[in-house]
Structure 1
Amino acid sequence: MVAFVVSLHGGTPVYRQIASVLRTRILQGTLAPGAELPSEQDLASQFGVGRDSVRDALALLRGEGLIETRRGFKSKIRELPERQRVALPAGGIVTSRMPTPEERVEHDVSEGVPVLIVDGEVYPADRFEVVGAGAERHSTS
């Protein structure tokens, strides 16, 4: 993997710059599904940053459903599922949040992947996208 120099004085946080580089490599196929990322220490060396910045970047990518992480193992690139569309009725509201343990099991949601709530129905955000004009979006923690 070619080293990338992050800007420590720019307006974009370092972890977001790292996540952006890795995201681009994943989406372009340079990092293929099933491939392991280098260790946190190796990534920190490649980017010239501390491990905390790398951890934050990996957490962001995990939240986007692009990678899987397990304690004691290297992060792996996830297979990118085909996204299904969910129609949002006029005036409908989309809420995003982390799933409950029961929802994770019921909908087979990977750790770190949020869910979308559309008209009371739960959809894993890595497999569904909401379409509809004038959608009002709310995010909860």
Structure 2
Amino acid sequence: MIDFSSDRPVHRQLADIIRADIAAGRLKPGQALPSETRLMQEYELGRVAVRQALAVLRSEGLVVTVKREGSFVRPAIPVERVAVEGPAEVSARMPSPDERRDLDIPEGVPVFVLSQPRKRQRILPADRILLIWDGDRLPADER
């Protein structure tokens, strides 16, 4: 329930409740969240607070919102293993809007930037990529 006397903003409390439902499996991947109107009624909140809560969850990559359809728990995505051979530099950052569109990733999901000598830089969605280093090629002190 929402504690209106708490110092924690009500939209954060609602995001906490929905996040806990996702983590506990009460809301499953791909499942629709209750409508904004339903959440407003159930938790006695205004539309702005509900939308702010959903925005928090979108920024965390937990939910996706489809115009005219509603918000859904983000579906499970198969993980792809990417082998990194030889020297490499990997950094993580938030993608540009064009990268989000090109990679088909929702708001809140970072990307890996993989740079290797004599190879083209790769931008990889961090939510569905597992980077694997070739252990035989790592210096002994980095294994």
Contact 2:111 2:126 in 1 (8 A): yes
Q: Is 2:112–2:126's contact at 8 Å kept on the other side of the alignment?
A: no
Name the counterpart of 2:109.
Answer: 114
What is the match of residue 138 of structure 1?
none
CA gap of 1:46–1:126, structure 2 versus 1, over 3 A, is farther
Residues 1:21 and 1:76: Cα distance change in structure 2 (over 3 Å): same
Match of 2:57?
Answer: 61
- TM-score (normalizing by structure 2): 0.67
The worse-fitting range, judged by mean Cα deviation, of 120-129 and 57-66 is 120-129
Identify unmatched segments of 5+ residues in structure 2: 116-121, 132-143
Q: 1:57 to 1:125 in 2, by over 3 A?
A: farther
**Where has structure 1 moved over 4 Å in runs of 4 or more?**
82-87, 92-95, 117-121
Aligned length: 121
Q: What are structure 1's unaligned runs of at least 5 residues?
A: 131-141
> Residue deviations 1:27-59, cap 9 Å, x none?
211011121111101101111111111101111
**Aligned pair in 2 of structure 1 residues 53, 85: CA closer, same or farther (>3 Å)?**
farther
Residues 1-141 of structure 1 aligned to structure 2 (within 5 Å) = 5-81=1-77, 94=91, 96-101=93-98, 103-110=99-106, 112-118=107-113, 122-127=123-128
Q: Which one has a bigger Cα radius of gyration?
A: 2
- % identical equivalent positions: 34
Change (3 A) 1:119 1:15: same
Shift of 1:108: 2.3
Which has the larger share of helix? Answer: 2
Structure 1 position 21, deviation (Å): 0.7
State the TM-score, normalizing by the size of structure 1.
0.68
